[in-house]
């Protein structure tokens, strides 16, 4: 009897220790500290160039592309982008009119918010102000990425009327690309399509909702909501995977459904699926319309089923042949993680989405994806894929992967009630 009592006391003590054991958040601290060092190094080296970091210059192996696309190079060789061998391995910069220009300033703001380092705040303001001429730019749908991820983040940390004015002008320029007959914002001004709309465009709607809220201009919110509704009706297959590009005829009927960055027209391009779950989660947050949340959940469930990698970092396309050479897309993983953390706070069974996002974040924060400070040309994450069929940015760091990784960390810490000092 005494033996049984002794064992019972031991197990009880172990249970108490287990319950009181502090959860290990060292992986978050590692991610924030690495991001802090990388952002400071990059800002210092790029400052004064008038440019912003995008990626690292790389080339491509045509035979590998053929194997991944499962077709002859004759079918895609004309769309391949040339690369300069003398610049391979170097940081690749872009001007303010590139669609990724807002991500580095946004990452600086997020890095400042996570670490509290005022030097990051100073750089964030400096690189954000570099983008001021975008208020007059009308030739892209990516204005949401470019302005909301920079000036929109600035409003969270250093709000000002001047920022509000820039965002308002930009939102009007974005809304001017909306066609009432079609019910969508036009994406591209190039290519063979009549009126192309890409799934990425869901990410630009937040800018319209922001300005509608700031100014009371409900027309902007209506444009955003109509775009989301039209896209939901035409961009998705029965299994909730989405096409990358849907082009419309002028009467609003669908001209064609294709891909530009995925394996083929009927495949599920990984980042496209991430844009979808993020975009519809945000559409619900901004409108309160449950149809958007219900749809976002369906897309999330699809992602959690179709991503087959052990670490939940997807291959560049869900339908790509999986071999040792198949590139991952950390940017798709980061976008998905950020979306699912937000979704987890909105639905009854949110725990499964939070746990999946946590798995992604822990793996992105591991040495397999998180760069060492001073390496990776100053970028935070490794192993993203931009546009494999175009021979562009294959297995590289990408500025937007870094941005959504930091946003996901911020959202994770908010749900957990954590501060940097707690780590």
Give me the sign of the Cα torsion angle 48, 54, 58, 60.
Answer: negative
Catalytic residue among 74, 84, 142, 180: 142
Q: Are 202 and 209 in contact (CB under 8 A)?
A: no
Helices (H), 71-160: 103-115, 118-129, 143, 153-157
Whether 200 is catalytic: yes
- Helix H or strand E segment including 387: strand 384-387
**Quick one: 350 exposed, middle or buried, by C-beta within 10 A (0-12, 13-18, 19+)?**
middle
- The answer for residues whose C-beta is within 8 angstroms of residue 86's C-beta and 6 or more apart is none
Residue 189 known to be catalytic: no
- Is 100 within 8 Å of 395 (Cβ atoms)? no
* 33, 37, 47, 200: the active-site residue: 200
Dihedral sign, CA of 412, 117, 112, 57?
negative
User: What stretch of H or E contains 82?
Assistant: none
How far is Cα 342 from Cα 137, in angstroms, rounded to an integer? Answer: 31
| Residue bearing tokens 């798709």 | 332
How many Cα neighbours within 13 Å face the side chain of 312?
25
Indicate the pairing of strand 52-56 with strand 91-94.
Answer: antiparallel
Residue 158: phi and psi, rounded to 5, are -145, 65
| Residues tagged active-site | 142, 200
């Amino acid at each position: 009897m005494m033996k049984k009592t002794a064992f019972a006391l031991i197990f009880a003590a172990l249970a108490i220790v287990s319950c009181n054991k502090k959860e290990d958040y060292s992986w978050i601290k590692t991610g924030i500290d690495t991001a802090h060092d990388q952002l400071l190094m990059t800002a210092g080296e790029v400052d004064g160039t008038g440019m912003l970091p995008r990626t690292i210059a790389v080339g491509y192996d045509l035979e590998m592309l053929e194997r991944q696309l499962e077709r002859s190079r004759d079918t895609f060789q004309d769309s391949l982008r040339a690369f300069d061998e003398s610049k391979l391995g170097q940081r690749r910069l872009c001007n303010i009119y590139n669609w990724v220009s807002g991500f580095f300033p946004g990452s600086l703001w997020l890095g400042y918010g996570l670490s509290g380092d005022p030097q990051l705040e100073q750089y964030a303001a400096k690189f954000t102000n570099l983008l001021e001429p975008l208020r007059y730019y009308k030739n892209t749908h990516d204005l949401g990425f470019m302005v909301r991820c920079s000036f929109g983040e600035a409003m969270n940390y250093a709000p000002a009327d001047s920022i509000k004015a820039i965002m308002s002008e930009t939102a009007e320029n974005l809304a001017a690309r909306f066609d009432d007959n079609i019910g969508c914002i036009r994406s591209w001004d190039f290519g063979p399509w009549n009126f192309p709309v890409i799934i990425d465009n869901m990410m630009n709607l937040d800018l319209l909702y922001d300005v509608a809220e700031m100014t009371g201009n409900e027309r902007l919110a209506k444009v955003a909501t109509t775009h989301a509704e039209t896209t939901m009706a035409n961009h998705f297959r029965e299994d909730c995977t989405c096409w990358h590009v849907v082009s419309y005829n002028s009467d609003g009927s669908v001209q064609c459904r294709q891909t530009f960055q995925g394996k083929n027209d009927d495949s599920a391009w990984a980042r496209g699926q991430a844009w979808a779950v993020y975009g519809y989660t945000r559409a619900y947050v901004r409108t309160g319309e449950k149809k958007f949340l219900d749809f976002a959940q369906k897309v999330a469930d699809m992602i959690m089923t179709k991503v087959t990698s052990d670490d939940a970092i997807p291959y560049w396309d869900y339908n790509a042949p999986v071999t040792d050479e198949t590139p991952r897309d950390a940017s798709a993983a980061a976008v998905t993680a950020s979306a699912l953390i937000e979704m987890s706070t909105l639905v009854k069974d949110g725990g499964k989405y939070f746990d999946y996002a946590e798995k992604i974040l822990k793996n992105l924060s591991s040495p397999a994806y998180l760069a060492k400070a001073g390496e990776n040309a100053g970028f935070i994450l490794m192993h993203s894929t931009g546009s494999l069929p175009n021979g562009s940015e294959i297995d590289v760091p990408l500025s937007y992967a870094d941005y959504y990784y930091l946003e996901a960390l911020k959202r994770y810490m908010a749900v957990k009630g954590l501060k940097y000092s707690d780590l």
